[in-house]
Amino acid sequence: MQYISTRGQSRPVSAAEALLTGLAPDGGLYLPESFPATAAVSPFTEPGLTYQQLASRILKLFLSDYTEAELEACIRHAYGGNFTSPAVTPVTMVGEKLGFLELWHGPTCAFKDLALQLLPRLLTVAARKQRFDREIILLVATSGDTGKAALEGFKDVPGTKVIVFYPEDGVSAVQKRQMVTQEGTNTYVVGVTGNFDQAQAGVKALFTDEEFQQEMAAAGKTFSSANSINWGRLVPQLVYYFKAWCDLCQNHGLAPDATFNIVVPTGNFGNILAAYYGKKLGLPVHKLICASNRNNVLTDFIRTGEYNRNRRFYQTLSPSMDILVSSNLERLLFDLAGADPAQVRAYMDQLREKGSYRLAAAERERLQEEFWAGYADEAETTAAIRRVYERYHYLIDPHTAVGYKVYQDYLEATGDDRPTIIAATASPFKFNYGVAQAVLGPEAAETPDEFALMAKLAAATGVTPPAVLAGLQDKPVRHQRVIAPVAMAETVRTILGL
């Protein structure tokens, strides 16, 4: 299977090359030239399939230049003892028709592990296939979850180094502790005395600095990106939606020919796009419900057909969704525009030039057939955490809470009460402040010490925090670099010995 660019001005490439390069040279995103036939999914409901077997069947459809043995070796490494649940992504039903798909049982306690535990293995194999002999330097700017997941994924993977820049005061205390205690001989974590945008701008500048690229090439190195526009991050995410379907059919009475809804708390539009691709592959989804926080640019887009990033940016309790430009949406646009790359280019030009674009009426209808959208503000997010705890004695994190609130709105607006799965994207103990405030009350959350809050929450609810989070306080700090944004390039030089 070949991969083409959404903007149609790059040559088709193999899966291995699409994974290695991430972004197409014309600035577009790679997608499969033709989508696998839907009939390919019928075996997925076979009883007793493990997560790993399911992953193998799905990945094989998209990564056709990998051998089955290569894929299985990658999968074995990625989804083994590093996940604390043998099911990898278990579904917890809180009602007869409502379940949470828990995507946080991996080493960093957020859903990004599902892709980032696998991607480094896939890249290593891709490099071998392409006879690519340079050292791969992963550069990552993170607002919290991606950086840690990339560090854990690439830790001690031969032929790679991973350098993560995080905003010194822009991540939660738990997230920061997760990063500065990172182990591995090839991991580098750098605090930046600026915000996430500055860190990201610094990384982007390095990616486009030709002189720097030449210096890197001369030293036998090359930059790569693990961010969510890489096709290698999307495909692994299809697997857990199929796994959830298998669970619903085998354990919760869903008829194999019945449909269900999927709710996804959304930022960069990666996780929900994977669910959409799952549907294209035959997953019987009725509606894909897109849940946003106060940065509700996607809610407006799905409701009106106009994407408009000219609006205020809010910092919220669900920081991994604080995004105004959802990069992965470009792949959906390609489908909405009837696979016409010229139309995609036109929309992307408008977005760059005036910060907005508007879909044609037929495109908007197509969008609304598949998606329903809503959002939650801060008070609604907190209320959702409290409500779910009181109703079901089940703890959810603020991102997942946004999903729950929007699902309530969907129920009320449509009356559609068919079985529904909400993607639970992070462990509640990763965001103790927001969760403690909701469950224990505002006074309880007055202490700024997140680890004290974690202990309090655990004691009050009887829910055990993941060991990797509870044990963080006792781990030695291994990374102490803090730099100004202007010093990012120099820091990379120092780390790489250039």
Ligand X SMILES: *Cc1c(COP(=O)(O)O)cnc(C)c1O
Would you tell me which residues interact with ligand X (CB under 6 A)?
Answer: 110, 112, 145, 228, 265-271, 320-321, 399, 425-426
- Output 10 or 320, the one with its CB closest to ligand X: 320
Give yes or no for a contact between 429 and 409, defined as CB atoms under 8 angstroms apart: no
- Output 49 or 283, the one with its CB closest to ligand X: 283
Q: Which of 426, 492, 385 is nearest to 174 (CA)?
A: 426
How far apart are CB 213 and ligand X at their closest, in Å?
A: 27
How far apart are CB 375 and ligand X at their closest, in Å?
A: 13
Residue of 60, 112, 279, 405 marked catalytic? 112
- Output 21 or 293, the one with its CB closest to ligand X: 293
Residue 112 appears among annotated catalytic residues:
yes
Hey, which residues does 431 pair with through a beta bridge? none
- Output 249 or 289, the one with its CB closest to ligand X: 289
Structure token pair of residue 78: 């990625």
Buried b (16+ CB within 10 A) or exposed e, 209-219: eeebeeebeee
Structure token pair of residue 139: 């550069």
Buried b (16+ CB within 10 A) or exposed e, 415-434: eeeebbbbbbbbbbbbbbbb
How far apart are CB 463 and ligand X at their closest, in Å?
A: 18
Q: Which of 280, 301, 281 is nearest to 290 (CA)?
A: 301
How far apart are CB 228 and ligand X at their closest, in Å?
A: 5
- Output 182 or 186, the one with its CB closest to ligand X: 182
Phi-psi region of 358 (alpha: psi -120 to 50; beta: other; left: phi over 0): beta
The rounded distance, in Å, linking the Cα atoms of 327 and 439 is: 34
How far apart are CB 103 and ligand X at their closest, in Å?
A: 8
Number of other CB atoms surrounding residue 115 within 10 Å: 28
Rg (CA), the chain: 22
How far apart are CB 99 and ligand X at their closest, in Å?
A: 17
- Output 30 or 66, the one with its CB closest to ligand X: 30
201, with CB counted inside 10 A (0-12, 13-18, 19+), is middle
How far apart are CB 69 and ligand X at their closest, in Å?
A: 30
- Output 66 or 83, the one with its CB closest to ligand X: 83
The rounded distance, in Å, linking the Cα atoms of 274 and 238 is: 5
The rounded distance, in Å, linking the Cα atoms of 333 and 347 is: 9
Provide the H-helix boundaries in 63-143.
Answer: 68-78, 112-116, 119-129
Q: Which residues are catalytic?
A: 112
